Chain A
Amino acid sequence: MSDLDLRQEFLAGTAPGEDIAVQLSGDGQFRTADMSLSIGPAHPATHGVFRIVLDLDGERGREARPVIGYMHRGFEKLAEHRDFRQIFALVNRHDWLSGFSNELGTALAVEKLMEFEVPDRAQWIRMLLAEWNRVLNHLMFIGSYALELGAITPMFYAFREREDIQHLLESATGGRLHFTYNQVGGLKIDLPKGFLAESTQVSSLVRSRLPDYFDLVLGNEIFHGRTKGVGPLPMEVALSLGVSGPTLQAPGLPEDPRVTEPYLKYGEIDVEVPVGENGDAFDRFYCLLHRIRVSLDIIDQIHDHIPPGPVNSKLPKMVKAPEGATYVRIENPLGQLGYWLESDGGRTPWRLKMRTPSFSNVQAIPYLMRGQLIPDAGSILGSVFFVVGDIDR
């Protein structure tokens, strides 16, 4: 088959010597075959085993189909065979960058089901560490998003800050990634001596270094060229797809459970929700970067609020939740995390359904990638902010 969409048909009945009657059909354009390009499961742009199949016409993609499930580890099922105290070690692994927030969600769900009162001090400390965890997570994504656009340096800057914060969290929890610091009824152990002083110090340090990211990344002309107007997600589409976090705030909706449905003590402090205007990749990154600043503001407020007192309460020998079900939603670093916890009155959850932000956010990818160029595919993929383990669970 010729690539040229032009056919000549010689009409019958032309005698020798006469003009040849030819009929042309087709528009004379060259036809090109579409190419299917599989980005992933092991590709530098996907930071994890995530796969996208692109149907390409030249460099422009027609359709994008995300293929997920390469990292399915069955956490929901595993949780049905662990008792309520043990599932904390599972949930901080599905989104490995937000371990503390995941534990927090689980703890809130279990405590809600058991109607457990958590001491005030534990609640404030949970907030403090959750916000630190959020900064940690966002720094990682700032570095990796810049890396996806070809800028290598912000990653190193981000890890410089991450190292300080991880050191701080390690002093309290003993972990750098999987903290397992929450437990039913409070926290595993009280904060070490001098933690708050160090926390204040790290907070002002990170704050003093934030301008680096604003100048180096957000203010960069090439960064503007690569992200402004790329992959806009209108509000209606964002809402119908159920995206959350920076991806939902970028179109301009200040939705954040810390404000709209405060849990812990978030109602007692000021939480600012940064929003974008156009919902494009630039706005998503803008929201992410400003969320770090907001989290640092929250951390500084929490420092003045932490009351003395116990950080955990005495648990019965056998933790059993009464029969029933509950749903808890919190603002995870990447968006809304929901846990549906159902108990039949036994020692283990009967069902633990995770509504993870990454899973909902990647639903926007086919919409965003339709008709985009390959380089833009990278900048879109990075800007919806997901963790592969959080998609597949």
Chain B
Amino acid sequence: MMLLVTSGVAPYLAQAESILDVGDTFIVPLLLKLAFVLGIFFVGPLVAGYLEHKAMGRMQHRRGPVEAGPFGTLQLVADGIKFIQKEDLIPSAADKWVFAMAPGVALVPAMLALLVIPFGPGVFALDLELGLFYVLAASSVSVLGVLMGGWSSANKFSLFGGLRAGGQLIAYELPLILAAIAVAVQAGTLSLVGIVEAQAEFMLFGTGINLWYVIPQLLGFGIFFVAALAELSRPPFDMPIGDSELVFGYMTEYSGIKYAMYMLTEYAGMVTMSALMVVLYLGGWQLLPGVPLPGCEAAGGLFDCGVTGTLLGVGVMLGKILLLVFVMVWLRVAYPRLREDQLQRIAWLVMVPLALLNLALVTIAKVVY
């Protein structure tokens, strides 16, 4: 790893070098990075969606999609094509510009958040020193699109959905950020690559085995996971959509490609949040605690890996992401929906105090040791 940090002056741009930084030109790495982020952004949700279809199907005595493509893998692509063909309806009473812009406003931040998340040894577009801050800031802009959609639809159900989403975001952003701060405190950096590196260096006392942050901060991980579910409006926190109460919440009036954009936002958010959880708590692309990736032993098991090591690292990372996505799907299958006031009560009376407690414990431990 090449650190550009010199004592005293903290640069705010790239720290670690990405393997996508090839050649001396400006344009080639840029295009490569764009392709990388867009590739993750469009393929990740498809994989997560396929996993959801199939896992839900199996849990519900169905088979899930089987017709489109081998084993139904292209079902979501077919859905996307169907959505593009549909009529793009705009209600006559809607605020047309806001209505049309809202899905985009929700979609773009989900894409921007992927910019700094490392997916393997050197496999990332950018390593911002403020990476964690940037991801959380970018992903919370998404709710603006939801609010806009809810407000501009000129539909009472949409309005309720949008307002619920707004309230939910305010309630759950706080424990989410407090839990993330605890990680930053323990790692001593906000850079996501730096956090993964810090997890490789956090040793179990007296041994050479490193611990991922999920072990010292199990409470924080739980809080982060629940808060992430709430922020993504995933069941059991899907009150903004609440199909049996609010028809389809803020998406009620949307059809065609705009609706597809909202759905893409949801699944991209699942991938982003899962990736973030893997980076913050589950050791990023590390195979197992204490086991360096094959091919990267020389460099401490994290960077400057060969082709095998890099591919394996990316595979491990994606595997962990899919595992978390699977847990989210599992919760959707198993649980009914909470009520909006119950959700707020849990957030303010349980999650925020627990997150503060977690932060205090981590800070004290950090100072003592």
Interface residues of A (CB under 8 A from B): 35, 37, 43-45, 59, 146-153, 156-157, 160, 216-217, 220, 222-223, 225-226, 373-378
Contact = CB atoms under 8 A, between A and B. Distances in A.
B244 interface: yes
Given A156-B61, A220-B336, 18 more contacts: A45-B244, A150-B244, A151-B335, A151-B336, A153-B60, A157-B60, A216-B334, A217-B336, A220-B334, A222-B335, A222-B338, A225-B342, A226-B336, A226-B337, A226-B339, A375-B245, A375-B337, A375-B340
Nearest to B59: A153
Contacts of B338: 222, 225-226
Interface string B227-238: 000000001101
Contacts of B82: none
A225 B336 CA distance: 10
B167 to A, nearest CB: 10
B60 A152 contact: yes
Interface residues of B, number: 29
Contact of B336 (A35, A149, A157, A373): A149
Interface in B316-361: 332-342
A373 B342 CA distance: 12
Given A153-B333, A153-B334, A148 B244 contact: yes
Contacts of A222: 236, 335-338
A376 B339 contact: yes
Contacts of A373: 339-341
A375 to B, nearest CB: 5
A147 B334 contact: no
Nearest to A45: B244
Given A157-B61, A375-B239, A375-B340, A152 B245 contact: no
Nearest to A37: B156
Contact of B337 (A35, A43, A44, A149): A149
A148 B339 CA distance: 12
Contacts, number: 79
A150 B238 contact: yes
Contacts of B79: none
5 closest residue pairs by CB, A with B: A150-B337, A151-B336, A156-B60, A149-B336, A375-B339
A283 B245 CA distance: 21
Interface in B123-169: 156-157, 160
A160 B61 contact: yes
Nearest to A230: B339
B242 interface: yes
Interface in B235-262: 235-236, 238-239, 242-247
Contacts of B60: 152-153, 156-157
Nearest to B243: A44
Interface in B61-76: 61-62
A141 B247 CA distance: 20
Contacts of B342: 225
Residue of B59, B236, B335 with highest tally of chain A CB at under 10 A:
B335
Given A157-B61, A373-B341, A150 B334 contact: no
A220 B338 CA distance: 11
Contacts of A153: 59-60, 333-334
A151 B59 CA distance: 13
Contacts of A375: 239, 242, 245, 337, 339-340
B247 A44 contact: yes
A375 B336 CA distance: 12
B244 A44 contact: yes
14 contacts: A35-B156, A45-B244, A146-B336, A147-B244, A149-B244, A150-B242, A151-B334, A151-B337, A152-B56, A157-B60, A216-B334, A223-B336, A226-B337, A377-B245
A374 B163 CA distance: 14
Contacts of B157: 37
Nearest to A148: B244
Given A37-B156, A157-B61, A374-B160, A152 B333 contact: yes
Contacts of A37: 156-157
B359 to A, nearest CB: 27
A59 B246 CA distance: 11
B93 to A, nearest CB: 15
B344 to A, nearest CB: 11
Nearest to A377: B245
A216 B243 CA distance: 20
Contacts of B239: 375
B247 A43 contact: yes
B343 to A, nearest CB: 10
Contacts of B246: 374
Contacts of B59: 153
B65 to A, nearest CB: 16
A157 B340 CA distance: 27
Contacts of A59: 160, 340-341
Nearest to B339: A375
Contacts of B243: 44, 150
Contacts of B156: 35, 37
A352 B235 CA distance: 47
Nearest to A146: B336
Nearest to A42: B247
A146 B334 CA distance: 11
A32 to B, nearest CB: 13
A28 to B, nearest CB: 24
Nearest to A379: B339
Contacts of A223: 336
Contacts of B160: 59, 374
Contacts of B334: 151, 153, 216, 220
A153 B236 CA distance: 13
A141 to B, nearest CB: 14
B54 to A, nearest CB: 15
Contacts of A216: 334
A112 to B, nearest CB: 42
Contact of B245 (A156, A157, A378): A378
A374 B245 contact: yes
A35 B155 CA distance: 12
Contacts of B336: 146, 149-151, 217, 220, 222-223, 226
Contacts of B332: 152
Given A45-B244, A153-B333, A225 B339 contact: yes
